[in-house]
Amino acid sequence: MRVVFISALALCVTTATEAAPKRVVTLGGDVTEIVYALGAGNSIACDDQTSLYPQAATKLPQVGYLRTLAAEGVLSCKPDLIIASADAGPPAAVTQLSASGVRFVKVPNTHSPDAVPAKIEAVAAALAIPEKGKALEAQYRRALAGARAKLAAYKGHPRAIFLMAQGPGGAMAAGRGSAADVMLTLAGARNVAGFEGYKPLTPEAAIALKPDVIVVADIAVKMMGGMEAFRERPEIAMTPAGKAGRIVPMDTLLLLGFGPRTPQALLALGQALHGGALVH
């Protein structure tokens, strides 16, 4: 086993010093976005089901869902490079992929806009285009600083909550430490969901929390039958947000992906939270 591993590794080392990889598999919506932003989108042979931006990425063959991958399925794309978000799973599949002999790069995934430059750097290094990486990083930092400046101009911290897909106990709300919590707080809101992680929100709890704005994943709205049906649900209708009609659907990859578009996401969120209008 070791002999095979070492010889495969040797093969990879020689490959690494050659020209840019020809067949890349990207696992994770943020990773895919970054590769396209670096201008290397045409080297992607396959991606995963969470890679929903840009439009071109959805037309590529998909090898599975990021968190429930099959090692074989990924390898069937015959990649010479796999770039995977740290959220890739299950752990056994990740272990198998890293031992498969194909170059495997893991991209760190801290839930913070400040973590994005590190992601860009890792992806650019994997693709052997460090200069483009630096350019993109600089562009990103400028956009983020700009967004922060605009957000600082808003006054007040509206009470807000972020809702995801429907669980058996009700819609799942994002509590402390979640990606949504980070975004809401940065955009100037006060996340009223005081618990850790994602938990189902019962109607009574929703009413007790009294959010002024409800940010909701747009797929969740679709699953619950559209915006009208969503607004009529008791746990929504009886909140201040529901009564005032301040419900903000947002694309999950845009909001929670922590990729190149994060500054835009922050701005859109900030506008919705403080502007008082429905943002589409």
The CA-CA-CA angle for residues 227, 232, 234, to 5°, reads 130
117 binding other proteins? (CB under 8 A): no
Nearer to other proteins, 77 or 206 (CB): 77
Examine residue 89 and tell whether it contacts other proteins (CB under 8 A).
yes
The nearest distance, CB 196 to other proteins, in angstroms, is: 8
Q: Considering only residues 6 through 25, tell me which ones interact with other proteins, judged by CB under 8 A.
A: 7-8, 11
The residues near 47 (Cβ < 8 Å, ≥ 6 apart) are 25, 26, 27, 32, 57, 60, 62, 63
Interacting stretch for other proteins, rule CB under 8 A, among 3-11, 121-129, 256-264, 271-279? Answer: 3-11
Q: Which is nearer to other proteins, 7 or 264 (CB)?
A: 7
Q: Does 227 bind other proteins (CB under 8 A)?
A: no
Is 189:222 a contact under the CB 8 Å cutoff?
Answer: no
| Contact stretch for other proteins (CB under 8 A) within 104-112, 121-129, 133-141, 195-203 | 195-203
Which residue is associated with the tokens 């630096």? Answer: 134
Phi, psi of 209 (to 5 degrees): -75, -20
Alpha-carbon distance values, 257 to 32, 142, 157, 169 (Å): 11, 19, 23, 26
Within 129-255, strands assigned E span: 159-167, 170-174, 190-191, 198-200, 213-217, 247-250
Could you give the string, one character per residue 48-67, with x where binding to other proteins holds by CB under 8 A and - elsewhere? -------------xxxxx-x
How many chain residues interact with other proteins (CB under 8 A)? 34
- The runs of H, that is alpha helices, within 153-178 are none
The rounded distance, in Å, linking the Cα atoms of 233 and 207 is 12
Q: Is 197 in the site for other proteins (CB under 8 A)?
A: yes
- Contact criterion met (CB below 8 Å) for 95 and 119: no
The residue (of 34 and 97) whose beta carbon lies closer to other proteins is 97
Interface with other proteins, residue 84, by CB under 8 A: no
Does position 205 interact with other proteins (CB under 8 A)? The reply is: no
**Residue 110 sits in the site that holds other proteins (CB under 8 A):** no
- In angstroms, give the least distance from the CB of 44 to other proteins: 15
Residue 72 interacts with other proteins (CB under 8 A)?
A: yes
Total residue count of the chain as it appears in this document:
280
Residues that bind other proteins in the complex, under the rule CB under 8 A: 1, 4-5, 7-8, 11, 61-65, 67-68, 70-77, 89-90, 92-93, 95-96, 99-102, 197-199
